Structure 1
Amino acid sequence: MPSEVLEPLRLRRSAGERLTREVYRPDFRRRMEALRDSGFWKLERRQHFEEIGSASRDALRRGDWAAALRLFDERRPQLAQEKQKDAQRGLVKYRVRIVRQPLSPYVQWELHSLRQQAEYGTRVRVVRTEQLGGLEAAGPLPELVSLGGQVLYEVCYTRDGVPDGAIRFTAPDTVRRAEELIKGLYRIGEDIAPYFAREVAPLPPPPAA
């Protein structure tokens, strides 16, 4: 159970603006690039996604675990470059990953990615589903991204986990409450390094997924 009481988040989707995937991606990119001396907060709850445009994710899908991990290693120069740019902009990235045991193939794969991103400055913590308490009394937590306390996206997916745009919220109180929830979950989470060493590193390769 959480060591602190976190308030459930009730988003009124009608108060936001529904963006298609084609609109969401450039909108997010533009706002992200404009951030200075601020924080990026992301909450991931779903246990399966169908990433689009990821060669490593494609390798997992066809069951080639060695290739999936090799492709992660090949992106290290890109991550180092992003870290330098973030430092120049005063941007700090925080991510909270909700996990359910046993790990799904997707989450096992993603935790390898997140562990690597943490090596390059992203602050990642893991929260187990049993820590959520009453936060999910009304259903699973949404997928959220908050940019500098200025804008909030509830990222949308199809039933199969395919990206499907987002709902954009800009009302200050809505953005603040969502960011407070992500920060609260981050506080009760475990740093990805010890979690990965204990729960992920010993696992055999996952099945194709």
Structure 2
Amino acid sequence: MLDPRAPFLVPAQGERLVRDAYRRDFRHRDAQIHNRDSWKFERRQHFEEQGSPSRDAFRRGDWEEALRLLDERREDLLAVAREDERRGSFFHRVRVVETPLTPYMRWELHSLRLRAECGERVRVVGVEKVAASERTAPLPEVVILGGRTLYHVLYTETGVPNGAVRYTDPGLIGGWEKYLKSLYEAGEDVMSYFDREVAHLPSPTTKAE
């Protein structure tokens, strides 16, 4: 059964990390996880990806090159999946999708489909699934590592990464894990969603963003 409400995150109860500190902290904590799953919840419908050649090609309007560059990541993603298997720790992603799809979301869904092909566990939910938790504001972007650390990932108004707030309270993290698991169970596998809603669409252009 879908839990109706996500736990509320109070910034003062966490620790603010600037972007570089967040990335270092994430890598350090992620490397220590064994036999415990991790979760990512994505809500925004537009991001400005940093350090992605595929995303850069998309910004230039070169859709075919963007897709080609996405596929170049396949071996790296397969290696990540093998490492997850070795550690007994699997990454689950819950992606909220609004329609009509933004140009960014059409690009990201291609990326998520590739991740799923390589072993990542990705499901899509419609905005109605989170409506009970969004009566005053959209839900935050959240990552949970191994049940021990929760990051509220921050972005600028235009979608540029801007660090995170780190939480370590077990009760808060447990509440979010329960909520994300219920969303995941209520969601649709990204591959079937992609085949039905995205595969037939014409190439998007950055002008529409």
Q: TM-score range by the shorter chain?
A: over 0.9
- State whether structure 2 residue 33 is matched by structure 1 residue 14: no
Aligned mate of 1:99, from 94, 97, 100: 97
- State whether structure 2 residue 172 is matched by structure 1 residue 174: yes
Alignment partner, residue 194 of structure 1: 192
For the residues of structure 2 that align with 1:5 and 1:110, how far apart are their CA atoms? Answer: 26
For the residues of structure 1 that align with 2:180 and 2:149, how far apart are their CA atoms? Answer: 14
SS in structure 1 at match of 2:132: helix
Q: TM-score, normalised by structure 2?
A: 0.96
Deviation per CA, 1:30-62, whole angstroms, max 9, x where unpaired?
A: 111111111110000000000110000111111
Alignment partner, residue 163 of structure 1: 161
Deviation per CA, 1:93-134, whole angstroms, max 9, x where unpaired?
A: 100000100011111111111111111111100001123231
For the residues of structure 2 that align with 1:55 and 1:106, how far apart are their CA atoms? Answer: 14
Deviation per CA, 1:174-204, whole angstroms, max 9, x where unpaired?
A: 1111111111111111111110000010111
Q: TM-score, normalised by structure 1?
A: 0.96
Which amino acid is the alignment partner of residue 178 of structure 1?
W
Q: Cα offset for 1:83?
A: 1.3
Q: Which runs of 4+ in 1 moved over 3 A?
A: none
Contact between 1:153 and 1:166, CA under 8 Å: does it hold in 2? Answer: yes
Aligned CA-pair RMSD: 1.1
For the residues of structure 1 that align with 2:63 and 2:43, how far apart are their CA atoms? Answer: 23
Contact between 2:129 and 2:183, CA under 8 Å: does it hold in 1? Answer: no
For the residues of structure 2 that align with 1:4 and 1:21, how far apart are their CA atoms? Answer: 33
Gaps of 5+ in 2: none
Alignment partner, residue 37 of structure 2: 39
For the residues of structure 1 that align with 2:38 and 2:204, how far apart are their CA atoms? Answer: 30
